[in-house]
Structure 1
Amino acid sequence: MGFATGFAECIYINLAQGNQLSPGPVADAVEAVIAAAFFDSSEDMQVVESIMKAFNIRWP
C-alpha cells in the first residue's frame, strides 16, 4: 500500500543501506502517520477512517 500510493517516496532512504526501501519500514511509517493523526484529532476515529479511505486501506 505504501508503495502503490507513493507514500514510500516521502521516506528518507539511508544510502549506506543499499538505497532500497523494504516493505516493513514503509508499513511502520504509514502506521505512524495514522496513529499521529488519531492522537492529534483527540482520538477521532472519523479522521482515521478518512485517511484509510484516502489510502484505500480496508479494515475488517
Structure 2
Amino acid sequence: MPDDLYARYQDARRAYQQHTDTCRACTPTGPGSDCDDGRRRFVRLARLQDLYLTRLKQRRTR
C-alpha cells in the first residue's frame, strides 16, 4: 500500500510545478510576491516535504 503522506507530497509537488509552468511570477524555487495561488501551493508543498522528510529520519533512527 502506497504511503499516503508521500502521495500527498508528490501531488503538491506536481501541482506547484504545473503552476510555475504557466505563472510568470513564480519560479521552481519559490512563489512570486504577488501570486497568492503560487504562495499557497508552495507552502503546502514545503509543509508536506518537511513532514515526509521528518518521517524518513524517524524511521532511520528506530
Per the normalisation by structure 2, the TM-score is 0.38
Per the normalisation by structure 1, the TM-score is 0.39
